[in-house]
Amino acid sequence: MSDAERRALLLLAQGHTAKSAAALLDTTEAAVNERLREARRKTGVGSSRELARLVSRENRDEKIGVAGGVGHAAVEGRVLNLRARWPVLLGVSALVILASVVGAVTALAVSGQAAPDPTTPPRVVATYPKPGDVVPAGPLTLKVTFDRPMQPKSFAFVMRDRESYPDCSGSPAQSPDGRSYSLNCTVQAGRTYLVGFNSPSNPFFKSLAGVPATPVTLTFSAK
């Protein structure tokens, strides 16, 4: 099955309909139904709900496996916390998001910083560790900071492979200003680590305006 078909099935397993899954996947209800039909055809399972249950069992730790590229392209193994279910924003919810965007722009203006264009992708402006850093082995708080406030409960810490990903636990914590996410991890001496923030198939770090952040991969080592 394709990654798109698996995502549609996982949402179905969480109780979504094709219509609500389409809203979360930024596509049409017809496209979701077509993905479900293709998944049934490829697997031979007659019921979308039954197939969704089987896929959910394989992914019960909420991590998705996807195929990577070749050559210099990194192989993307899993994603921590694909995305917390985010409701379709209607009425008051839309006003709350609008107020948050206006507040963020105002805060930047007051601080003397130019507000980012809300139609452009958010950018990573800082990480801990910094790229190329060598950090002490043991507990580590992995942190990524963007150039603007980000959607709450929507994130993608991307694992390239098991050997190059820290041992992390719990859910990431968002900073009060909404620009940073922190994740508690542990690193081992003599290891080099790679952590992705977003990827083409997992673009869940998003601005308040719903624009996915530009994918970035952080590389660091432990001693």
CB within 8 A of 112, min separation 6: which ones?
Answer: none
What pLDDT does residue 152 have?
93
Task: Tell me how far apart the alpha carbons of residues 14 and 56 are, in angstroms, rounded to a whole number.
Answer: 8
**What is d(CA 177, CA 37) in angstroms, rounded to the nearest whole number?**
43
213 pLDDT more than 90: yes
**Short-list 92, 87, 98, CA closest to 24:** 87
What are the chain's domains?
3-60 (1.10.10), 119-222 (2.60.40.1220)
Structure confidence at residue 1 (pLDDT): 78
Q: Does the pLDDT at position 68 exceed 80?
A: no
Cα 56 to Cα 40, 59, 62, 155, 185, distances in angstroms: 15, 5, 8, 20, 26
When pLDDT is averaged across residues 69-79 and rounded to a whole number, the result is 37
- Whether 151 contacts 86, CB under 8 Å: yes
pLDDT of residue 50: 86
pLDDT of residue 43: 84
The per-residue pLDDT for range 30-54, each reduced to its tens digit, is: 999 999 999 888 888 888 988 888 8
- In angstroms, the CA 131 to CA 123 distance is 15
pLDDT beyond 70 at 4: yes
Residue 59 has pLDDT above 80, yes or no: no
**CA-to-CA distance for 202 and 68, rounded, in angstroms?**
13
Q: What is the pLDDT of residues 109-150, one digit of tens each?
A: 545 566 789 999 999 999 999 999 999 999 999 999 999 999
- 135: helix, strand or coil: strand
CA–CA separation, 10 and 57 (whole Å): 10
Give the integer Cα–Cα distance in Å for 76 and 166: 15
pLDDT (tens digit per residue) in 7-20: 888 888 888 899 99
Over 50: is that where the pLDDT of 198 sits?
yes
Instruction: Provide mean pLDDT across the span 184-201.
Output: 94
Angle, to 10 degrees, between the axis of helix 3-13 and the axis of helix 48-58?
A: 100
Q: What is the pLDDT of residue 60?
A: 54
Average pLDDT in the chain: 80
102 versus 221: which is more confidently predicted?
A: 221
Indicate the pTM of the whole model: 0.54
Q: Higher pLDDT residue, 74 or 135?
A: 135
Mean pLDDT value of segment 51-64: 65
Is 157's pLDDT higher than 60?
A: yes
Question: Taking 60 as the threshold, does the pLDDT of residue 221 lie above it?
Answer: yes
